[in-house]
């Protein structure tokens, strides 16, 4: 009788441990949405592989968090629908922190600094923001630049035309073709293009605001955000984040 009781007790304990284990499962994979035309943060190399600064950060952070990572190119203007629809788990693509995004998403701790620059063709008569009056200005749709311009009535109404494009690659193509006079673009992307093409583009000394960048998750999603925050803290503390920044940017942009 005692043996039967012990066997029953052990069986119950094993069942309870299995249930507890299932309930405590943490995510094993994270699907990251990104604009794969956004160099040097996330873009296609000559082998059509997705590479970049954010890609290296995400790979390292997910490895430390014990998760596989998948990078999924998305329509940037549809990023909120993608994450709410659970087709992606995070947006990791130079995602600027602003009040609206703080309301719409759970955001990681900031991991780098950035700014919004006005870029013009080299030799342009535009040398300061006031010179944009009567000019054609472009931004990427639903980018931080568009967020700023949509709320700056004085600047926007002074323009000859204000255009939004699906990605910055299209913006640069139209600048090269002479169809726009200036663009508002993230500093990291602007500097990347200016290094690659020093004879084609310059940025104004004035900018439209400094900012910090974070990873976005679904609202009230704590599992992914806590794991990534812990990994980013470790990477900052041991110098990994600084090393990745210097490899891609030539400087440490993780100070904030």
pLDDT digits (tens, 9 = 90+) for 39-82: 899 999 999 999 999 999 999 999 999 999 999 999 998 999 99
Q: Is the pTM of this model over 0.85?
A: no
Instruction: Give just the sign of the alpha carbon dihedral 212, 118, 145, 91.
Output: negative
pLDDT class of 13 with cuts at 50, 70, 90? very low
Please, what is the average pLDDT of the chain?
89
pLDDT class of 253 with cuts at 50, 70, 90? confident
Q: Measure the CA–CA gap between 35 and 1, rounded to whole angstroms.
A: 66
Query: What pLDDT score was predicted for residue 111?
Result: 94
Residue 217 in this model has a pLDDT that exceeds 60: yes
Q: Output 21 or 201, whichever has higher pLDDT.
A: 201
Preceding peptide of 40 cis, ω within 30°: yes
pLDDT class of 256 with cuts at 50, 70, 90? low
Q: Are strands 182-186 and 106-107 parallel, antiparallel or unpaired?
A: unpaired
Residue 18 in this model has a pLDDT that exceeds 70: no
Edge-to-edge strand list for the sheet holding 42-44? 37-38, 42-44, 50-51
Q: Measure the CA–CA gap between 192 and 71, rounded to whole angstroms.
A: 22
Burial class (CB in 10 A: 0-12, 13-18, 19+), 166: middle
Q: Measure the CA–CA gap between 202 and 35, rounded to whole angstroms.
A: 23
Residue 16 in this model has a pLDDT that exceeds 80: no
pLDDT tens for residues 152-205? 999 999 999 999 999 999 999 999 999 999 999 999 999 889 988 999 999 999
For residue 37, list its beta bridge partners.
43
Q: Report the phi/psi class of residue 30: left, alpha or beta, with left for phi > 0 and alpha for psi in -120 to 50.
A: beta
């Amino acid at each position: 009788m005692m043996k039967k009781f012990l066997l029953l007790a052990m069986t119950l304990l094993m069942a309870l441990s299995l249930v507890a284990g299932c309930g405590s499962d943490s995510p094993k994979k994270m699907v990251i949405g990104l604009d794969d035309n956004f160099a040097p943060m996330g873009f296609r190399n000559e082998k059509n592989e997705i590479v970049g600064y954010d890609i290296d950060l995400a790979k390292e952070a997910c490895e430390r968090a014990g998760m596989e990572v998948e990078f999924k190119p998305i329509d940037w203007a549809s990023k909120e629908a993608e994450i709410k629809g659970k087709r992606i788990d995070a947006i990791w693509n130079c995602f600027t922190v602003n009040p609206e995004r703080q309301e719409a998403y759970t955001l990681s701790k900031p991991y780098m600094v950035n700014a919004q620059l006005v870029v013009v063709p080299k030799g342009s008569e535009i040398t300061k923001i006031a010179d944009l009056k009567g000019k054609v200005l472009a931004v990427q749709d639903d980018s931080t630049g568009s967020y700023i311009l949509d709320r700056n009535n004085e600047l926007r109404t002074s323009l000859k035309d204000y255009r939004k494009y699906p990605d910055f690659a299209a913006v640069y193509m139209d600048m090269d073709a002479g169809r726009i006079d200036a663009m508002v673009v993230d500093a990291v992307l602007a500097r990347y293009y200016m290094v690659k093409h020093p004879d084609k583009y310059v940025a104004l000394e004035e900018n439209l605001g400094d900012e910090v960048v974070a990873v976005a998750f679904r609202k009230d999603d704590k599992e992914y955000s806590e794991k990534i925050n812990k990994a980013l803290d470790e990477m900052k503390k041991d110098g990994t984040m600084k090393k990745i920044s210097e490899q891609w940017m030539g400087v440490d942009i993780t100070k904030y």
